[in-house]
Each structure stands twice: as C-alpha cells, then as structure tokens.
Amino acid sequence: MDRAGMERLLTAIEGQLRRAWLAMIGHLRETNRVAQVAGRMQVRDPGAVLHGVEDAAASFAAAEHNAYVTAGQAAARWLRRQFAKRGSCVAKKLLNFDPGDAIATAWAEQNRLDLIRELATEQRILIRDALIGGAMRGVNPRVTAAEIRDAIGLTSYQERIVANYRAQLEAGQYAEALARQLSHGQSDRAIAAAARTQVALTQAQIDTAVERYRANWIAYRAEVIARTEALRVAHQGTEELYRQAIARGDLQADQLERTWNTAHDGRVRTSHRVMDAQTVGFGERFRTGEGTELRFPGDPDAPASETAQCRCVVSTRVHGGAGGADAGVPAGADDLEADAELEEEGAAEEAEAADEEAAGDDAGADDVAADEGTDDAAVEGAEAAFTGDADELLDEVGLGGEPAQPAPPRYLQQAQQQQLQRAERRLVERQATHAATRADLEAATAAHEQATAELVAARREVDGFRIGVSAVGDGSEIARLGEAPDVVPARVPLASHPPSRSGMSAAPTRNELPGDPHRTAPEPLRDTIVPSDQPAPVGYEAMEYNGELYYRQRITGRSYTPAQYTERERDAARGWSFDLTGPNDRQLSIPGYQAREVLSRSMIEQGRAPELRYRSERTGQTYTAEQIASGEAAEAESFLIEEERRPQPRRRLLGRIRSLFSGRD
C-alpha cells in the first residue's frame, strides 16, 4: 500500500482504538464503585479487588482484531487495484484477506491473551502500591479504595504524578502546578487567581482540579496507546494479507518492494532518520542507524526505544501482474498516485462496487443494548461499542466502495472450537505422559530397592561383619564390632553430635577410660536412630528416632512421620506444607529458620517437584534459600519486626497486606 493510503488507514484506526480504550476505562470505573472496591479489599486475592478487568481487556482486543482485519482488507483492495490497472484479471474471492486463516486466528488469540495479562499485571501493581501506601499513612480503607478506583486507566508512575500535583495544590505551590503541560485550562484560571490573591484553594476546588488533571492524563495515555497499537496492528494486518496472497499463489514474494518512510520533521528518532527511503523485499528486515532490525514500524519484537510513539510508515510497491506474470508495465506506472487516468478508473470501480453493496447487503449488525442492571450485559454493550464495522472504517479511510468482508461470527466460533480441541488433545497427551513417567518412576524405584538389597547382602557375605559409627573426640572412626554376622549394635548413633529436640547439635560428655588417660568415650547418646521392624511403604525404609517412627525416602533421604506420609499421599493432587523434623533432615536447617517441604497446586499443574522453604522462628514468614543467602529475608524480617511495634490497627492492616503479597505457595 502506498504511503498516503497507509497514513489514512492509520488515522482511522487510531481514532477507533482511542475511543475503544476510553470506553474500556469508563466501563471499568463504572463497574467498580468505591464501596464495592472497599468490600473486596477484605479478600486475600489482590486480583479480585477490581472486577471486569479480563472482560475489558478482551473487548479492547476485539477492537484491535477489527482493526487488524480492516487493514488486511484495505491492503487486499489496494492490491487488486494494482493488478486491475495493469490489465491482470484477479478474482475478488481469491485475492482477499481471510480472517479464518490459521495464522490470523492465532494472532488474534495471542493478542487477546497478551492484553489481558498486561492489563491485569498493571492493575495488580496499582492495587499493591495503593494498599501499601494507605497502610503506611494509616488512612481509612475506604480512602484507599477511592485511590484504587481513581487510578484505573493510569500507570503507577502516572498516578504518582497526579498525587504530586495534589500535594502541590495542598501546599500552595501554585506556580509549580501551573507549569504542568497537561493541566486543565479552567482549573488553571482558578489556581492563578488563588496565587494572585494569596487565598488558598478550598478542598472542593483542589479535588476538582485533580480530577480534571487525571482525566487529561487518561486521555493522553489513550492517545499514546492508540497511536502505538494502530501502527503495530495496521502493519501486521497488511503483512498478513501479503503472506496469504503469496501462499495462495496470487503473488510472488519478489514482486513486493517495501520502503520505510519517516515523518520528515524534527521529532523523528535519530536512529530512524537514516532509514528514510530504505527499501527491502518482502520478509526482509529494515536496519536502524544503531543496528536494530525491524520488520515494520511498531514491531513488537523490537525494543520499546525503537517503537514507542513511532510515526513512521512502510509503503509497498508491486512489480508485474497477478501470479508473478509480467504484463509489460511501462516505467512509472507502478506509482498509481501519479497516473490521473488510472485514478479515475479506480474511482469508477469503487462507485460501481458501492452500488452493488447498497443493493445486495443487509442492514448490518444490530447494536447490543447495554443493560445497566447486570455486569454481563454492560460488558456486551461496551464490546459492541468497541468493535464497530469494518465497512464503515474502510469508508472513513477512503478505500470504500467494494463490499467489505468482515469475519463472519462462525469463523471465530470455528476457530475457538479448534483451539479448544487442540487444548484438550494437549491435555490428554500430557496426562498420558505423566502416567507413563509415574510408571517409569515406580519401576525405577523398585529396581533401585532391589539393587540396594542385593548390594547390602553382598557386602555382608564378603565382609562377614557389621560396621557401626562410634563418636570419638571431635570426629568419628570406623570400628569393627565383631566377625560374627549376628553381632549387631543395639543402637547406632547417627553422628558425633546428634541433634536435640530443638534441632541444635550438642557435644557429648566425655568420660575417661580406665588405663588409658588419652582415650575418652561418649556418654550414651539419647538422640539416636535405629532400624525399625515396622513395615514401610514402597520406596521408603522404616526407622526409629527418639522413640518415634519415621519413613525415610530412599531417593531423597528425607524423613516423614506416618502422619506426614499419609498427608503426602492423600494430598498429592492439591499439595501440602509441613515442617521437616526427621533425623535425616537436620542438615537442611538454617539457624533461626525451620525447614519445610512445600508442594502447591500451581507447582503440581506445572509438573514441579516439592521444594524446600524456610520458616522464620521470629516472624513465621516463609523464604527460599536464595532469599536468605542474599540478605533479602533479613531485610524483610527487620521491617516486619519494626512494623509489629506500631499501633494495633495498623498492624492488623499490614498483616492483611503481608498475606496478600508474601508470595506463599
């Protein structure tokens, strides 16, 4: 598509997306009243504080998909004109944009998921900052709820700018407030009058000025998002049309010539200035002055420094006729804007197609009425306002006249059904793989147990004696206990310094042996481990430790009480979390922390093994070994202990916040 056509297309899509974004923000603010947000703050999930975020993001994704289809249809119409004016006969049903194509459908679904994830993450950060800020200031939860609702539509950084503006007005810094570029004109007059008369603004005037300033920031962000997204979606739609045409054989890749065009003003990036008039073939990448490669302006794979608020466009020229046939085009005929006669023929073709459309098309899709009584109907109404019709947008761009072919609803339904079927097949495959892996693990465990038993029997048969570990001095030595195979120590100490009930090792008392002043013997050890004749589950061995029965896992060496083992087996589908107190687990402990084994539902779904966590003996908070080693846990402990000394109401609120953001599984 030529540069003029791309700029008209971008202007129309940008306006459509700006209106869709503002409508989405308005819908979110309408469905999340202050009282509702304050009530939801009591739950333990920050994602539930605001309702309708996923539906709103999906609605904006629908608007972007409509723009994507519109761009592809506009490029198809432009391409047909190229061939028609070269004398090539190209059937309209062949050279057209197919929204039901597998790649186009995958783009729409991935774009929807990306928007939902980005918007949900953005709102979660805003909620976290508002909760922590409100707790630190000790304000009423309803005030925090109002701040959360007011922040809808802004980033965390932009909301801080608005908060600074309020602080300037409340402090009487009117000159600094008037210097802001996005301030409201009507509010500026009131602020200027207050600065001139030295009369402070009332609280109502401050609230009104801040609300207008916030609205200006929301409008500014909508404009930036619309410009950036329109640039990306429009180029992705046209590139997809060219790809489909090449895949169908309507066009050859070497017939396309793509040229980078800048805005030709002082605001063009330095790295983009050298790209002006740079020409590449289809599938090739443009190269910036700094060496970055881009497929087109707004390329999502490029860094934000090369795409944010970019105003460049890519124009396309076609050489030869449809299917790659060279129709003997004279020099200069590729540029259709320069041929007045061909332009008139194209206008006549548009008028004829418009008459056919008016005679044969139905009245169009009915608008969905928004029922304010239910959230679902409100979301449907907002989505209907977002999407619009591709025919109207093509007329606005100036490429109308031929019946637009937006994706019929059945295409999207079929695509969604296919995606659901693929997801179900993947789930069945993963379940089968999991079952096979579990069977292999059980077989490997049984083989390991058999090999271990054979090895133990072979050692006993060859050596003819048992080996026990006896603590001597600060170390240990291996002592033969007898040649006869039935000479077995009644109790075998595990280490020279066995653990106490608290998990700390205590050195044994040393007694002198008669006749040898240099040799000492330890007192009888209380914390010892002996084999148990109790039956053990497969993969475990039974042992007694301080008179209690434990099951030691042969592979990992971790020990569990019978109750903990039962919990592991019973809750294998939903996870567990308990302290490790077995005799083989004391080396896992860290001073001041109790080792815990944790397996959450999310870890099960991701196929992850149980993990070790460490619970602080001072605060009860849980950390990973990396957090303790890096000092992050120590900083958090100091902060929590300091906050515990604050007044009781603030401590209760901070407790709720910690439970929300402590990162527990």
Domains in the chain, number: 4
Q: Which residue would you say has higher pLDDT here, 55 or 607?
A: 55
H or E segment and range at residue 272: helix 270-273
Q: Tell me whether residue 229 is exposed, middle or buried, using C-beta atoms within 10 angstroms of its C-beta: 0 to 12, 13 to 18, 19 or more.
A: buried
For residue 491, the SS3 value is: coil
Tell me the pLDDT band of 37, cut-offs 50, 70 and 90. Answer: confident
pLDDT > 70 fraction of the chain, expressed in percent and rounded:
65
Spatial separation of the C-alpha atoms in residues 145 and 127, rounded to whole Å:
9
CA dist 575 to 38, 440, 570, 624, 635, Å?
Answer: 32, 22, 9, 18, 29
Q: Is residue 538 part of a domain?
A: no
* pLDDT tens-digit series, residues 445-492: 888 888 888 887 776 665 553 333 333 333 333 333 333 333 333 333
Task: Give the range among 25-29, 487-491, 645-649, 658-662 with minimum mean pLDDT.
Answer: 487-491
Residue 605 scores a pLDDT above 50: yes
The letter for the amino acid at 393 is: L
Res 585: pLDDT: 58
636 vs 17, more confident? 17
Mean pLDDT, range 195-216, rounded to an integer: 89
Which stretch of DSSP H or E encloses residue 603?
helix 601-605
pLDDT, position 240: 92
Is residue 157 predicted with pLDDT exceeding 90?
no
Q: Which amino acid is at 407?
A: A
- What pLDDT digit, counting tens, does each position of 525-551 carry? 344 677 888 888 877 888 888 788 888
Q: In this predicted model, which residue has the larger pLDDT, 225 or 414? A: 225
- pLDDT, residue 515, reads 39
Answer whether residue 288 is part of any domain.
Answer: yes
Mark whether 227 and 133 lie in a shared domain: yes
Indicate if 605 and 510 belong to the same structural domain: no
pLDDT score of 500? 38
What pLDDT does residue 67 have? 92
Say whether both 243 and 382 belong to one domain.
yes
**Shared domain check, 489 and 617:** no
- Residue 560, Cβ neighbours under 10 Å: how many? 22
0.85 exceeded by pTM: no
User: Within this chain, do residues 231 and 291 fall inside the same structural domain, yes or no?
Assistant: yes
DSSP-assigned states of every residue in 511-579: EEETTEEEEEEEPPPSS-EEE--S---TTEEEEEETTEEEEEETTT--EE-HHHHHHHHHTTTT-EEEE
Residue 333 placed within a domain: no
- Statement: residue 518 has pLDDT above 50: no
Say which residue, 119 or 241, is predicted with more confidence.
Answer: 241
Alpha carbons 386 and 19: distance in angstroms, whole number: 7
Q: Which residue has better confidence, 275 or 513?
A: 275
120 vs 64, more confident: 64
Residue 17 is predicted with a pLDDT of 92
In this predicted structure, the answer to whether residue 517 has a pLDDT above a threshold of 60 is no
- Please provide residue 117's backbone torsions phi and psi, each rounded to the nearest 5 degrees: -65, -45
Average pLDDT over residues 351-379: 36
- How many CB atoms lie under 10 A from the CB of residue 596? 18
Report the mean per-residue pLDDT for the chain.
Answer: 72
The yes-or-no verdict on residue 395 having pLDDT over 70 is: no
Residues constituting the chain: 665
Q: Judge if 507 and 458 occupy the same domain.
A: no
Mean pLDDT of 625-647: 79
Helix (H) or strand (E) holding 300: none
658 membership: H or E segment, kind and range: helix 648-661
> Does residue 247 form part of some domain?
yes
Query: Which of 611, 612, 577, 615 minimizes the C-alpha distance to 593?
Result: 615
Task: Please spell the DSSP secondary structure of 383-415, one letter per residue.
Answer: HHHHH--HHHHHHHHT--SS---PPPHHHHHHH
DSSP-derived 3-state class of residue 420: helix
Greater pLDDT, 570 or 472: 570
Residue 630: CA atoms inside 13 Å, Cβ hemisphere, count? 8
In this structure, the answer to whether residues 483 and 389 fall within a common structural domain is no
Mean pLDDT for 391-403 is: 42
Could you list the residue range(s) of the whole structural domain that residue 288 is in? 3-320+340-359+375-407
The predicted-structure confidence for 12-25, as pLDDT tens digits, reads as follows 999 999 999 999 88
Tokens standing for 378? 């409100």
Query: Which of 463, 480, 495 is at the close of a domain?
Result: 463
Closest C-alpha to 569, from 508, 610, 626, 534: 610
What does the block give as tokens for 327? 């129709």
Q: Is residue 543 part of a domain?
A: no
Asked if residues 577 and 599 have their Cβ atoms less than 8 Å apart, the reply is yes
Q: Give yes or no: residues 426 and 295 share one domain.
A: no
Say how many C-beta atoms besides its own lie within 10 A of residue 383's C-beta: 23
pLDDT in tens, 257-292: 999 999 888 889 888 988 999 999 998 999 988 888
Asked, for residue 212, whether it belongs to a domain, the answer is: yes
64-113 pLDDT, tens digit per residue, is 999 999 999 998 888 888 877 766 555 444 578 888 888 888 888 888 88
Least confident segment among 102-111, 147-156, 204-213, 326-335: 326-335
pLDDT at 19 (0 to 100): 92
Q: Is residue 414 part of a domain?
A: no
How far is CA 492 from its chain centroid? 53
Looking at the fold, whether 184 and 102 belong to one and the same domain comes out as: yes
Render pLDDT for 309-362 as a digit per residue (tens, 0 to 9).
888 999 999 886 555 544 333 333 333 333 344 344 444 444 444 444 334 333
Looking at the structure, do residues 391 and 439 belong to the same domain, yes or no?
no
| Residue 570 binned pLDDT confidence (cut-offs 50, 70, 90) | low
Phi and psi at 469, nearest 5°, equal -105, 120
Nearest CA to 15 out of 62, 54, 63, 56 is that of 63
Q: Is the pLDDT of residue 139 over 70?
A: yes
With beta carbons less than 8 A apart as the criterion, state whether 122 and 108 touch.
Answer: no
Classify residue 624: in a domain, yes or no: yes
Cα 347 from Cα 658, distance rounded (Å): 66
d(CA 120, CA 277): 40
Same-domain pairing of 454 and 519: no
- Of 270-279, 371-380, 565-574, where does the model show the most confidence? 270-279
Are 396 and 261 found together in one domain? yes
